Structures are given as structure tokens and as C-alpha cells.
Amino acid sequence: MRLKDRVVIVTGGAKGIGRAYCLGVAAQGARVVVADVADPKGTVKDVEARGAQALGVECDVSRESDTQRLATETLARFGRIDVLVNNAALYGTLKRRPFMEIPVEEWDRVMAVNLKSLFLCARAVFPTMKTQGKGKIINIASSTFFKGVADYIHYTTSKGGVVGFTRSLARELGPHGIRVNAIAPGFTLSGDNEQNISEERKQANIDARMIRRAQVPEDLVGTLVYLASDDSDFMSGQTLLVDGGGSVH
Ligand SMILES: NC(=O)c1ccc[n+]([C@@H]2O[C@H](COP(=O)([O-])OP(=O)(O)OC[C@H]3O[C@@H](n4cnc5c(N)ncnc54)[C@H](O)[C@@H]3O)[C@@H](O)[C@H]2O)c1
């Protein structure tokens, strides 16, 4: 029980990898807040079925008022905020296309959901973590940033921003005892994204890895628990690539 009674907010926790994070931290004794623009009830039920406490908050993380409400509802139910996992993103449903074909509005929306949301959510939890004298913020980047991926430039660029945001915020918040780190997953079979990529591309991802198999959400949970727990207390500003050795930096 490495996260006993810790209060962990997971944005984008309704499905995909975010759902796996919710179940993973619950298994370590955490109380979980499932924050998503989609209905979070399914994940809440799954967490509760494992004997842990959970709260669902329906919210759009790109809207400041929603992120403030997320923090307020979390405090009303659990009284503290120990960990924020900035996992929500426009990803699985995002079409791959050449940069000249990406509508400007889509570029803006990707930046709002994948990047501005980190700024807003961090601002929403900061006063509480500052008062507590400790907190962990874990941002979800992507191996696409380290590789450079064609036909996905808005997504890849937003995830590069996640790495920069992580480093800068870690410098600002370190004096308050708040650690800020990131995880960069490789291509992970997570539901919606499986229709969005060709079989050849899936296989090419596997072939490029040191560990030659498909990645699944559970492959990321150990690293998330580590970054959320006291075991990583002397780490901040780092981005851990968890992609079976597909990229190195
Ligand atoms: N699956 C992969 O191959 C992969 C690889 C690298 C990084 N990632 C990153 O991991 C994270 C999870 O990936 P996934 O595959 O589970 O993605 P996904 O698209 O399946 O799920 C994203 C979740 O975020 C939620 N969401 C979207 N917009 C939101 C908003 N405005 N407000 C609140 N919630 C919102 C969705 O409803 C969904 O539950 C994302 O940050 C993604 O970029 C995924």
C-alpha cells in the first residue's frame, strides 16, 4: 500500500490508460478522483468494486472554471490533494493527417486540451499542495515528441510542450515541496486509438523496441505509482520514457 489514503486526481480517467491509472493507484490504497469530460461513473464503480473510495467529476480540463470546480469538489469530499495526474488529452479520436490539412481550429483545440489544461489544473491544485507542504504533479507526455512523428504535428508539438512545462514548473514548485515529473508512453493499445493506426505502423512500433511486444496500459502503472509515491521524492523535472526502449534520450 504505497499510496495509503493519498488523494489522487486522474484527468481523463474515464477510459483508456487513465482508467488503468485509477485502478492502479486504488490498488495501492489511494482515494481516487476520476475527472473526465466523458461520464466517469464506470471507472468510479470499478474502483469502488476493488474496495477503494472514488469520486467522479465531469469536467472539461481546458476550461478554467471546470478545473477550479474539480479542486473544490475534491477538497469537499476528501479534504486534501496529494497527486494530480494530467492525463486527459485529445488523442485516441484525433485523425492523423499532413500538417497542411489540419484545420487551424483543430490545432487550437489540441493545444487547449493537451497543454493549457496542465497549466489550469496545476493552478487549481497548487494552493492546497502549498499549504500541505507537499504534492506530486505527474504530466503525461508521449514518445512521439522524442521521435518526431509525421501527420500528427499538433499532437506531437503539444507533447513537447508537456516536457517543457514539466521542467519549468518543477523549478518553480520545488521550494514548496511539490515534485513535477512526466511519463512519456510509447504507442499503447488503449481502445479508441487502435482504429486510428494501420497494422503496419503498429508492427513497426514493436520492431523498433528493445522489448518487442505491444504495449498495454498496465505497462505504465508501475511508473505512475512510483512517481506518485514517496519513493521518488528526490526526483523532479524529469520525463521517464516508458516505451519498451523504442526511443532513447
Ligand atoms: N495510447 C497511446 O499510445 C499513448 C501514447 C503516448 C501518450 N499517450 C497519452 O496518454 C494519455 C492517455 O491516452 P489514451 O490512449 O488513454 O487516450 P484516450 O484518447 O483513449 O483517452 C483520453 C481521455 O481523456 C478524456 N478527455 C479528452 N478531452 C478531455 C477534456 N477536454 N477534459 C477532460 N477529459 C478529456 C477522454 O474523454 C478520455 O477519457 C494521453 O495524454 C495521451 O496523449 C497515449
Beta strands (DSSP E) in the chain are 7-11, 31-36, 54-58, 83-86, 135-140, 178-185, 239-242
Within 10 angstroms of residue 131's Cβ, the number of other Cβ atoms is 12
| Ligand 1 pocket check for 149: Cβ under 6 Å | no
* Residue nearest ligand 1's atom 37 by CA: 38
Q: How many angstroms is it from 101 CA to the middle of ligand 1?
A: 22
Residue 164: predicted pLDDT: 98
In a domain, 165, yes or no: yes
The best mutation among 64, 86, 91 to test binding of ligand 1, ranked by most ligand atoms within 8 Å of the C-beta, falls on 91
Respond yes or no: is residue 155 known to be catalytic: yes
> Number of folded domains in the chain?
1
| Ligand 1 pocket check for 60: Cβ under 6 Å | yes
- One digit per residue, pLDDT tens: the chain, 249 residues? 999 999 999 999 999 999 999 999 999 999 999 999 999 999 999 999 999 999 999 999 999 999 999 999 999 999 999 999 999 999 988 999 999 999 999 999 999 999 999 999 999 999 999 999 999 999 999 999 999 999 999 999 999 999 999 999 999 999 999 999 999 999 999 998 988 788 998 999 999 999 999 999 999 999 999 999 999 999 999 999 999 999 998
In a domain, 159, yes or no: yes
CA nearest to 35, candidates 14, 6, 15: 14
Q: Can you state the angle between helices 117-132 and 64-78, rounded to 10 degrees?
A: 30
CA nearest to 3, candidates 35, 32, 20, 25: 25
In a domain, 230, yes or no: yes
In a domain, 1, yes or no: no
Q: How many angstroms is it from 153 CA to the middle of ligand 1?
A: 16
Residue 197: predicted pLDDT: 84
| Domain that includes residue 81, residue range | 7-242
Catalytic residue among 21, 91, 152, 155: 155
Residue 249: predicted pLDDT: 82
Round to whole Å and give the CA distance between 159 and 139. 10
In a domain, 247, yes or no: no
Residue 114 CA: nearest ligand 1 atom is: 41
Q: How many angstroms is it from 193 CA to the middle of ligand 1?
A: 9
In a domain, 248, yes or no: no
Q: How many angstroms is it from 82 CA to the middle of ligand 1?
A: 22
Residue 196: predicted pLDDT: 78
The CATH number linked to 93 is 3.40.50.720
C-alpha cell at 192: 479508441
pLDDT tens-digit readout, 141-183: 999 999 999 999 999 999 999 999 999 999 999 999 999 999 9
